Amino acid sequence: MSPWLQRQRHFLDFTLSALWRRRGRNFSLIAVFSLVVFVVSSVILFTQAVRREAGAVLRGAPELVVQRIMAGRHAFIPASYRDKIRRIRGVAEVKGRLWGYYYDPVSGANFTLWAMADRKLGVGQVAVGYGVARTLRLALGDNISLTSHSGQVLLLRLVRILPADAELISADLVVIRPEGFRKLYGVPDHLFTDLAVRVANPLEVATVARKIVEILPDARPVLREEILRTYAAVFDWRSGMMIVLLAGALLAFLIFAWDKATGMQLEEKVEIGTLKALGWETGDVLAVKFWEGVVISLTSFLLGFILAYVHVFFTSAALIQQAVRGWSVIYPRWRLAADVDFYQIGLLFLLTVVPYTILTIIPAWKAAITDPDIVMRQ
């Protein structure tokens, strides 16, 4: 080991001994420091993980969805639009989709109804997401009653509950046959909710979307990339709002850290004066204080980050998920896959560890350049 490394090791040993002598003060500082890092890291990790899950789900979505706009609102689209879009060069497939929302007055929840011509789904049968089954306390074979647009009650038999690990996209989902959907909402056979368009060449999606608007002026093409950007913006906004709400706590922590770091106790000043009287150089004193700041800030950062990691990926962010994911009655429950944004964590590291380390050096430098006799007489 080089002489320089041996010297730094001795400084670190001395620092750890000094920190242990003032363990009560230092433990309180580490607790507050770790709590701030824990909360901010939890928001960052949870937002990044949910964005990743949403992106993975939307990768299976159609490249292009075409809606019809009437009076500035989404309206049903005629089947004739499907035939016109099929004739556009580059379009591989166009499917009409039927979906909508249904409010259940008993649970106060909004269900997403999706029409699907599934061979496993017979007439008068439905499949529901795990969240719907949990909210309504349903089991296979139970009947679900839905009130149609005309006031008629439709009794549907539950034959399938979608897997729990797919709750992110199916928590509030009710899958019904197309004829049942049309009967429930009174939708004629020639109308669809929207059209899903598959483009042969992914590079031509924007071109196809432009051609659709040219031949169908009241159509609104929605690209899959636009949906991904919208989801990212929503999660960024929610996480940003939460961090803004924590600004007061962050400011209080900075004041607390400044007071603890700059308000040197008499014992510490005497210690620095003694070291100077024993022949320590100013650089040696600053090295000890540097290691003190590194030990406290790095320990706090690692402790807060590890707790945040466990909180997000082992408890699905139980303490903050309500604020980040928004308001609803039916929430998906699923285990988040570990996904760490090292850029954001590194930025948090630079905004917490580095400033605190610098704050510990400044008062030590002032005491170190003062005559030892004056320091020890204080």
pLDDT at 246: 61
The residues, any chain, with a CB within 8 Å of residue 41's CB and separated by 6 or more, are 304, 305, 308, 309, 345, 348
Regarding whether 141 and 44 lie in a shared domain, the answer is no
> Does 228 reside within a domain?
no
Regarding whether 348 and 266 lie in a shared domain, the answer is yes
> Does 135 reside within a domain?
yes
> Does 44 reside within a domain?
yes
Regarding whether 52 and 73 lie in a shared domain, the answer is no
Alpha helices by DSSP H, 263-341: 266-277, 282-315, 321-325
pLDDT at 110: 87
pLDDT at 274: 64
Regarding whether 248 and 158 lie in a shared domain, the answer is no
The rounded distance, in Å, linking the Cα atoms of 352 and 32 is: 12
Structure tokens at 325: 């994911």
The rounded distance, in Å, linking the Cα atoms of 316 and 301 is: 21
> Contact 27/293 with Cβ under 8 angstroms?
no
Regarding whether 208 and 239 lie in a shared domain, the answer is no
- CA-to-CA dists, residue 104 to 114, 148, 172, 251, angstroms: 16, 12, 11, 44
**Which of 163, 193, 223 is the last residue before a domain boundary?**
223
Domain count, the chain: 2
> Contact 338/275 with Cβ under 8 angstroms?
no
> What domain range includes position 111?
64-223
Regarding whether 201 and 84 lie in a shared domain, the answer is yes
Task: Output the domain CATH number for residue 74.
Answer: 2.40.40.20
> Closest Cα to residue 242, out of 43, 32, 38, 42?
43
> Does 118 reside within a domain?
yes
pLDDT at 188: 94
Q: In angstroms, how far is CA 302 from the centroid of its own chain? A: 20
> What is the total residue count of the chain?
378
Regarding whether 325 and 305 lie in a shared domain, the answer is yes
- CA-to-CA dists, residue 372 to 33, 280, 285, 293, angstroms: 32, 11, 12, 23
The rounded distance, in Å, linking the Cα atoms of 102 and 149 is: 11
> Does 315 reside within a domain?
yes
**Which of 179, 199, 223 is the last residue before a domain boundary?**
223
- For 136-201, the DSSP string reads HT--TT-EEEEE-TTSPEEEEEEEEE--GGGHHHHTTEEEE-HHHHHHHHT--TTEESEEEEEESS
Q: Which residues of the chain have pLDDT under 70?
A: 1, 4, 10-11, 57-58, 165-168, 231-280, 282-283, 321-336, 362-378
Alpha helices by DSSP H, 59-129: 79-86
**Which of 205, 223, 241 is the last residue before a domain boundary?**
223
Regarding whether 167 and 258 lie in a shared domain, the answer is no
> Does 194 reside within a domain?
yes
> Does 37 reside within a domain?
yes
Regarding whether 368 and 313 lie in a shared domain, the answer is yes
> Contact 235/53 with Cβ under 8 angstroms?
no
The rounded distance, in Å, linking the Cα atoms of 283 and 271 is: 15
> Does 332 reside within a domain?
yes
Q: What angle do CA 54, 56, 62 make, to 5 degrees?
A: 95
Regarding whether 260 and 207 lie in a shared domain, the answer is no
Regarding whether 133 and 11 lie in a shared domain, the answer is no
Regarding whether 272 and 173 lie in a shared domain, the answer is no
pLDDT at 76: 95
Structure tokens at 177: 């046959």
Average pLDDT for the chain: 79
